[in-house]
Structures are given as structure tokens and as C-alpha cells.
């Protein structure tokens, strides 16, 4: 009888944890997203030197880029591929998932999942110089996490915080406005800032970020 009670209790705990993992506001859990993701990834062996830390691969690009309300880049059909890096990291009970086009700096997304709620941000990271600002008069910084509208998040699963798993996903968003400058400018001079926003759709796969010990 005690053994049966123990098994029943463990099953209840397991079901409860599974429900919490799948009942997160702001995202959809769909294991079938893996099949669609794989269609967009290529040349994964080309970037094996990065595999000790994160996933790096060629990934399809879908973006509309606006500068000062003018559409300057439109590539929404996933026909172009660019180097893409992605990883996830746990910080206590908070899961952060990063993905960006570019091997060093980058343009992409950041997902923060905590308290059964998922938030999606447009992430921008500079390479050599502070390049971005939230507002026109703000100091330029290296990384922005810009709030978004019309967001969509699909994940194959929520990874176990005690394991190193590969997860698959899709995000879609329209970013709020932010300010950016050219990567090259003379130190001490005030570079001209462009009022910028991006619409993006991104398929990705991510593993646990491996930190140097």
C-alpha cells in the first residue's frame, strides 16, 4: 500500500511539473516545430570550432528593417542564409534564450521565461563599439533588449535545468523603435543616430551555454 501511494505521489508531481512547463503565458509548446526548424538550418559543420560553447550554423533570414520610418531592407522569404548563433542559460528559476545573426555582435532575439510567463525582446549586440540606444539622447551601449509587439514564441519544450538539451523554436516580432549608429565613428565625435525598428521571423535551435571553468 505504501509503495502504491509513493508511485501515485510521484506521478502527481511529474504531471504537475509537466503542466507548469507547458502552461506558460506568452508561448506555445509544440514538439513538431523541430521538423520546420531543420528546413532552415545549413552548414552546421562549418562552424564546429564554436560547438564547445554554443550552437552556430547558417540560418534563413526574414527581416524588414526601417530607418527613420523608411523601409531600407526587406527580405521576408527566408531565401538568404547568414551565420547564426544561439544558446540558453538558466539563472535560478529564470530561463534566458538568445539567438542572433552574426558571429560576434549580432541582431536577433532574447526570450526570458520566469514565473510561468515568457517575454520576447529584439536583441542587438555590438561588436567593437557602443552602437545602440533606447532613446535618442541616451548614451550608446553595447547591447539592447528592445520590447516588441505582435510577438509569437513556439518552443519544442522547456529544457530541464539539470540537463544539457537541444531545444528548437520559432519567434516572430515587431520591435519598438531604438537608435543605432554606424559601427565606425571617430571617438570623441557624436555620430549621427538612425531611428530604427525591425520586423523579424526566426527559426532556431539552442543548447545550454557551456561556460569556461
- Kindly report, residue by residue over 114-161, the tens digit of the pLDDT: 999 999 999 999 988 889 999 999 999 999 999 999 999 999 999 999
The reply to whether 8 falls in a domain is: no
The reply to whether 7 falls in a domain is: no
The reply to whether 211 falls in a domain is: no
The reply to whether 172 falls in a domain is: yes
* Longest CA–CA separation in the chain, Å: 78
Quick one: residue 181, left, alpha or beta (phi over 0 = left, psi -120 to 50 = alpha)? beta
The reply to whether 19 falls in a domain is: no
Please report the pLDDT score of residue 20 as a whole number: 45
Q: Mapped to the 3 state alphabet, what secondary structure does 156-198 carry?
A: CCCCCCCCCCCEEEEEEEEECCEEECCCCCCCCCCCCCEEEEE
In the chain, the percentage of residues whose pLDDT exceeds 90 is 71
Q: How far apart are CA 90 and CA 112, in angstroms?
A: 10
The reply to whether 79 falls in a domain is: yes
C-alpha grid cell, residue 132: 545602440
Domain tally, the chain: 1
The reply to whether 6 falls in a domain is: no
The boundaries of the domain holding residue 56 are 24-206
pLDDT at 11 over 70: no
The reply to whether 56 falls in a domain is: yes
Overall average pLDDT of the 189-193 stretch: 81
- Kindly report, residue by residue over 53-92, the tens digit of the pLDDT: 889 999 999 999 999 999 999 999 999 999 999 999 999 9
Does residue 107 contact residue 134 with C-beta atoms inside 8 Å? no
Instruction: Tell me the average pLDDT of the chain.
Output: 87
- Residue 208: how many CA atoms within 13 Å on its side-chain side? 13
Amino acid at each position: 500500500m505504501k509503495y502504491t501511494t509513493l508511485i501515485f505521489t510521484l506521478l502527481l508531481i511529474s504531471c504537475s511539473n509537466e503542466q507548469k512547463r507547458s502552461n506558460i503565458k506568452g508561448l506555445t509548446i509544440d514538439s513538431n516545430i523541430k521538423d520546420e526548424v531543420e528546413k532552415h538550418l545549413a552548414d552546421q559543420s562549418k562552424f564546429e570550432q564554436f560547438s564547445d560553447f554554443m550552437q552556430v550554423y547558417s540560418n534563413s533570414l526574414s527581416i524588414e528593417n526601417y530607418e527613420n520610418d523608411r523601409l531600407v531592407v526587406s527580405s521576408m522569404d527566408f531565401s538568404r542564409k547568414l551565420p547564426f548563433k544561439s544558446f540558453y542559460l538558466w539563472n535560478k528559476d529564470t530561463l534566458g534564450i538568445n539567438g542572433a545573426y552574426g558571429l560576434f555582435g549580432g541582431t536577433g532575439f532574447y526570450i526570458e521565461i520566469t514565473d510561468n510567463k515568457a517575454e520576447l525582446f529584439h536583441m542587438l549586440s555590438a561588436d567593437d563599439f557602443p552602437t545602440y540606444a533606447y532613446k535618442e539622447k541616451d548614451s550608446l551601449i553595447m547591447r539592447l533588449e528592445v520590447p516588441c509587439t505582435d510577438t509569437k514564441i513556439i518552443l519544442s519544450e522547456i529544457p530541464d535545468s539539470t540537463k544539457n538539451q537541444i531545444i528548437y523554436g520559432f519567434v516572430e516580432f515587431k520591435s519598438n523603435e531604438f537608435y543605432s549608429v554606424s559601427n565606425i565613428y571617430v571617438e570623441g565625435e557624436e555620430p549621427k543616430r538612425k531611428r530604427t525598428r525591425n520586423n523579424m521571423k526566426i527559426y532556431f535551435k539552442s543548447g545550454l551555454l557551456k561556460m569556461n571553468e
